[in-house]
Amino acid sequence: MQSWIPLVPESASTFSWQVDALYFYLSGVTLFFTLLISGVLIFFVIRYRRRTPYEIPRPIAGSHKLETLWTVIPFVIAMTMFGWGARIYFNLYKPPANAIEVYVVGKQWMWKLQHATGQREINELHVPVGRKIKLIMTTEDVIHDFFVPAFRTKADVIPGRYTTLWFEATKTGRYHLFCAEYCGMNHSGMTGSVIVMEPREFDDWLSGNTGGTTPAVAGQQLYQTLGCASCHGANGEGGRGPRLAGAFGKISPLESGQSARVDEAYIRESILNPQAKLVAGFGPIMPTFQGQVSEDQLVQLIAYIKSLQASGQPAQAASPAQAASPATAPSPTRNLR
């Protein structure tokens, strides 16, 4: 598990070489100028030392040429760093549309993860190699930070909102997962592993770990028990409340005259603080569900609403694993939530 340079962690994602290349460029530039400046400094100290006790040097009035040179060169170098860094940043933080989604909830001091196919994990994440994985993350208490050094990617996990992180692993293996934001007494123990598997192995792992209901199905049950159906329709077709079927990802006009994209954050806010962004044509009649639903349940409700197609039917479970064996092999982590 050693990379060719002993100073950097193993390189196991499509980002790794990009981040490393920039890192080595920054180190190279820094080293070059450190050597150049200290070398010239030492040379001048010796070359222009005072040779007689009352020596007075010839005054220098300044040079526009020199001033321009040492302004333009650093500017150009700084701009290459900025442009290069910005490009990598946008790669890192703009998740692709066709990624496999995993929900992550951080809490003191563990990571709870759930696959869209229902499998739950604690402090471990199994993913297939060569596939894009998108994490939709929030926390139950304080700020944490999801950090996988081998993938060269990390993101804060913040209470009350969703942050996303994505990666594509290029090598199978087991990689460290750290919490990289001080979050209390056992912060240093808030670690785990990302296990990257061959796609076939991963499918086997998925089918060996059925037993959890999918977030979307759990969300559907919640949708009924919380009474969402009485206003939004049994299948999200709408009624006294706005239509939810097919709404996800669309731009919705608001009562305030503005508009909002229906994404995870918008649905979350609308459940906890329904008056914040009323859909055009609807009054402030929805009660808040603040304190009645946990972060896990919010994730499930969102997964259900996401799954509602415009036809009003929930999407079919995507994984063949789901159809294989219902509830016969409970996941060891299932009851730990």
Interface residues with ligand CUA (CB under 6 A)? 106, 109, 144, 179, 181-183, 187, 190
Query: CB of 323: closest distance to ligand CUA in angstroms?
Result: 36
Helix (H) or strand (E) holding 89: helix 64-93
Cis, bond preceding 111 (omega within 30 deg of 0): no
Smallest gap from Cβ 191 to ligand CUA, in A, equals 9
Q: How far is the CB of 164 from ligand CUA (least distance, A)?
A: 18
- In sequence order, the β-bridge partners of residue 100 are 133
**Closest Cα to residue 167, out of 15, 23, 20, 21?**
15
CB of 97 to ligand CUA, least distance (A): 29
Measure the CA–CA gap between 8 and 27, rounded to whole angstroms: 13
Report residue 88 as tokens: 């990598």
Which is nearer to ligand CUA, 142 or 278 (by Cβ)? Answer: 142
User: Which CB atom, from 115 or from 144, has the smaller least distance to ligand CUA?
Assistant: 144
Residue 165 or residue 190: which is nearer to ligand CUA going by CB?
190
Smallest distance from ligand CUA to CB 180, Å: 7
**Distance in Å, CB of 154 to ligand CUA, minimum:** 12
- Stated as kind and residue range, the H or E segment containing 276 is none
Alpha helices in the chain (DSSP H): 16-47, 64-93, 199-208, 215-225, 229-232, 264-272, 295-307, 320-324
Residue type, position 19, single letter: V
Q: Are 162 and 136 in contact (CB under 8 A)?
A: yes
**Distance in angstroms (rounded) separating the CA atoms of residues 322 and 324:** 6
DSSP per position, 121-181:
EESEEEEETTSEEEEEEEESSS-EEEEEGGGTEEEEE-BTS-EEEEEEB-S-EEEEEEE-S
- How many residues are there in the chain? 337
Nearest to 98 by CA among 137, 132, 126: 132
Of residues 116 and 179, the one with the C-beta less far from ligand CUA:
179
Nearer Cβ to ligand CUA (138/270): 138
Rank residues 3 and 191 by Cβ distance to ligand CUA and give the closer one: 191
Smallest gap from residue 178 Cβ to ligand CUA (A): 8
CB-wise, 179 or 321, nearer to ligand CUA?
179
